[in-house]
Structure 1
Amino acid sequence: MQMLIISDIHGNLVALDTVLRKIKVDKIICLGDLVDYGPMPRECIELIKDMKIPTVRGNHDNAVANRIDCGCGYEYKHLSQVTREFTFQELQQQHISFLKKLPLSLTETIDGHKYYFTHGSPNSIYEYIRPETSSDKIKNMLEDVEADFVFIGHSHVPFRRNIDSKTIINAGSVGQPRDGDSRTCCILFDTVSLNFEIIRIEYDVETVFNQIRNKKIPNSDELVSILRRGY
């Protein structure tokens, strides 16, 4: 089975649509953060919902659904706060309810292997597992997780780590890459061979820039600059 793992869409419908049109697989899983930062949060939710893509709740989804702080890193926190007001204006109650009902994690057994999907870490949607996170710290985070493969998002940086018998794979970000590559990012995973590939795809980012400016989203120049640089 070919499985596509996507994460951190952040209202970037053009990037999301590009990925879903260009990559044809047997199964898609979304690791959350459909909203904030981007200009099309409502449309992203509706596309995920219409395609019935299993999705976990990200910290930004949780913040919008429950009107609380996102608990994100200080570097981008001001942007999450100002764009959240825009997000509230864009969404209807049905979208808020959809976000609120998203589970914190998903588990699957496929071809004899156990998979665990969450946004941040098994402990918390707010907790980061980064490429540089110590092995001991990750071991503690995964102590109660019975899985061969653990898929996460949240940091917007794709990577793979092997910790004892578990493989941790970060899917990067579809709509807000922050590893210096402005192309959209996702993971293609083969459940038979257990091989995975980081997929980077060019998309029409200029259209997203125009959407941000036309909708007069606060801090639009900074938002455009981040998308242009990829961090």
Structure 2
Amino acid sequence: MRSKAAELGICAGHIICTGDLAAYCAEPRQTVELIRDWGIHVVMGNCEQSLALEKPDCGCGFDEGSACSVLSIGWYQYANQAIDLDSRRWMGDLPRSITFQIKDYRFRVVHGSVTSINQFVFPSTPTDIKSRQIKRADAEVVIGGHSGIPFGQLIEDKIWLNAGVIGLPANDGTSDGWYMLLEPVDDGCLASWHRLQYDARISHGSTLAAGMSEYAQALTDGLWPSMDILPVDERANQGRRLDIAPLHFGF
């Protein structure tokens, strides 16, 4: 992603990560070190919160006993052993939200939702839930993370965006990660979603060697090992290649 940003001419000060740097795969320490060296903006995710406080679990919001919860024990313990004290302190100082302005539009970036760091918000999440969160945001646009599915929705005269995830596929049967670009245009803003293609076999090998075979497989086949957290609509879309049209908005 850093190479892609350089290719696009986007400086570190214009890049935001929605959190959960050290989750699922086998390079948590290296990932955190890369992000810190890069100098981009980062919102605190539930994983950063848990690691900073040395909590016993990731705080993802999985139902107890679910497959997601059981699988998280392995990858969180691995990350917890890999992250040093200095990185934990850095994580603890991360902001819970970031605001910025493009033209007349105020954006608020969060990890889960405005009121909950680990709330899952999906394309099919009812619009009234999103509307209430946007009202709490004091912004025209909310950018969330956490759910792992990239999307954008116009809700009355407000916007909910999710950039997707760089380090894990979007459950669409491809090994691609996702990122989102925001651009000012003459009559508003344009949000566009893009695939980040890379050689997933390298991460697959290291993740497999670390004992996380389910997530190693997901890196290459693009299918999540569990869909416990997904609503019915998103479950039905597993393995279907995503095609996300750009979203133009102006107020």
Identify the TM-score tier after normalising by the shorter chain. 0.7 to 0.9
User: Which of the pair has more CA radius of gyration?
Assistant: 2
1:153 aligns with 145
Q: TM-score, normalised by structure 2?
A: 0.79
Contact 1:108 1:115 (8 Å CA) reproduced? yes
**Residue pairs, 1:39-188, within 5 angstroms:** 39-68=26-55, 69=57, 70-73=59-62, 74-180=66-172, 181-188=174-181
Question: Does the C-alpha gap of structure 1 residues 21 and 90 become closer, same or farther in structure 2, counting only changes over 3 Å?
Answer: farther
Q: SS of 2:154's equivalent?
A: strand
TM-score (norm 1): 0.85
Q: Could you say if the C-alpha distance between residues 206 and 21 of structure 1 is closer, same or farther in structure 2, counting changes exceeding 3 Å?
A: farther
Q: Aligned to 2:109, what secondary structure does the other structure show?
A: strand
1:32 matched to 2:25? The reply is: no
Match of 1:209 in 2: 204
Aligned residues: 213
Write the distance in 1 (CA, Å) between the matches of 2:72 and 2:106. 34
Q: Name the aligned partner's letter for residue 210 of structure 1.
A: G
Range that drifts further, 51-60 or 189-198? 189-198
Corresponding letter in the other structure for 1:207? I
SS across alignment from 1:144: helix
Deviation at 1:182, TM superposition (A): 1.9
Task: Work out the CA distance in 2 between the residues paired with 1:20 and 1:94.
Answer: 27
CA distance in 2, matches of 1:44, 1:198: 22
> 2:152, 2:159 within 8 Å by CA — same for their partners in 1?
yes
User: Which whole-Å deviations, capped at 9, do the CAs of 1:25-64 have from their partners, x for residues lacking one?
Assistant: 2511111010121111112112211121111011122122
Q: Which runs of no fewer than 5 residues in structure 1 stay unpaired?
A: 1-15
Deviations 1:189-225 (A, max 9, x none): 1033511211102101111112223xx423x221111
Identity %: 27
Q: Which has the higher contact order (CA 8 A, sep 6+)?
A: 1
Distance 2:61 2:26 in 1: 19
| 2:201–2:220 Cα contact (<8 Å) kept | no
